[in-house]
A and B are shown apart, each in its own frame.
Chain A
Amino acid sequence: MTAATNGRRSRIRVDWPSCQARGLCHELLPELIDLDPWGYPLVLGEVPPELTAAARAAAANCPKRALRLESR
């Protein structure tokens, strides 16, 4: 079984209609979230285990509740 099917590796998903480009996710998780020219998040990849807590915090602190962490 790989780490992915183990549920240790997760994926960040953006609820695009909710996202208002506040940019907090990039502040909290610059390792995985960049911002595009308009300020919307660019998710750079899957969440490695060591960043799971930070990713969870980024999702929890989005003022628009537009980020979700999905385990795969």
Chain B
Amino acid sequence: MRPVVGPGPWLLRSPDPSLETHRSTYRPLTTTSAENLASSAEAAALRGRGGAAFPFATKLRAVAARRGRKHVVVNLSEGEPASAKDAALVLTAPHLVLDGAELVARALGVSEVHLAVPDEHRWISEHLERAIAERPRTGRRRFRWRFHEVAARFVSGEASAVTELVSGRANLPVTSWVPTAIEGVRGQPTLLSNAETFAQLAALVLDPGSARPTDDEPGTRLLSLNYASGPIRVVEVWHGTPWCAVLDAEQLSRPVLLGGYHGTWVAGGALRNRTVSAADLADLGSGLGAGVVIPLDEGECPVHRTNLILGYLAGQSARRCGPCLRGLPALAAAFDDLAHGGELDPVLELAGLVEGRGACAHPDGTVRLVRSALKTFGTEIEAHAHGTCTGRALITAAVTA
């Protein structure tokens, strides 16, 4: 399903996705050094927007410092069904993503860029192909864009799974002994970042005047708002925007899941006097991850919602790492039991057995969700143990698959 994209103040401000409109907003693409790009990213404290929040300047410098052939990969796969911000960028500002990638490629002396796109949403590739066709061919050698279709599985968009795919192997996570920046695609230095990260970089470099700096966190955030029904709504807000400008009073009074299915719950009311900022969310023991925001519907029980998400996550294991393959279904079953009045201990024990024991972040992310639910909904879980539920559970509320 295509997201509804709200107008935004920075990345999403173009009224249409055409190259002409894009060029009337931003400076023409130039060739600049990797160090220049890294300095711009560093000045804006740009961190990866795929969920891991790794400092972009550090990553870029690590790749730039290596010799030999390098690769640039734009991760547009967005394997999490609750996230649609990269799709939103493709719909409204594809040239910003492409400019960001081309800036990095030119700086690294690379003449092609790999685009990792979701195979279940063909329209994303089509929009990108249309945008690429609009772009002039520059330089002596033709600049190439290579598409790679990422499977519709939660873990397929994970960095090592995408690196494997681009290297011509199975699209599954593998153990990363060495960072992708040093040994990525075909064992060569690779700059792999999320689509929003490239778009943020392009906006910083090609329109430096209009970034609105705040003390420690300049720039914007793309948020995927998931309501009980209807398409995902993607909005863009400046860091430091109060949450009450993002969610309504009713939604803020109920628990909110931040950071998506691998994210953390915050209690009802906790966001009321807080802003969209890493510092405020860290205070609450939470974080934005890739920007997914899941408010609860009226009367919806957060324990049941967690239970539904866990059931989905357990089925999304790539089925290669034993503790994840065996542990996640067991953990989901134990939590389901707990949600229906069962024991807590098996949940804790299985969470401990899964954590830190996989090639990718799937087991750890799933355990993060479990632990935050246990921490935030102790009273509700207690109520379930006594056969009651304060929310009339919308057990049928679909976890989008």
Contacts and interface: CB of A to CB of B under 8 A. Distances in A.
Given A16-B359, A17-B172, A17-B359, A38 B177 contact: no
B231 interface: no
**Leading 3 A-B pairs by shortest Cβ distance:** A16-B321, A17-B320, A40-B322
20 contacts: A13-B177, A15-B175, A15-B359, A16-B175, A16-B320, A16-B323, A16-B324, A16-B358, A16-B359, A17-B172, A17-B174, A19-B321, A19-B322, A36-B353, A37-B353, A38-B326, A38-B327, A39-B322, A40-B323, A40-B357
A68 B177 contact: yes
A23 B277 CA distance: 46
Interface string A33-49: 00011111010000000
Interface in B295-325: 318, 320-324
A38 B175 CA distance: 20
Sort chain B's interface into a size bin.
10 to 19
A17 B175 contact: yes
Given A19-B321, A38-B322, 11 more contacts: A16-B320, A16-B321, A17-B318, A17-B320, A17-B321, A17-B359, A18-B175, A37-B353, A38-B323, A40-B322, A40-B357
A18 B322 CA distance: 9
A14 interface: yes
Contact residues of B: prevailing secondary structure: loop
A30 B357 CA distance: 19
A21 interface: yes
B174 A14 contact: no
Nearest to B318: A17
B173 interface: yes
Nearest to A14: B357
B374 to A, nearest CB: 21
Contacts of A40: 322-323, 326, 357
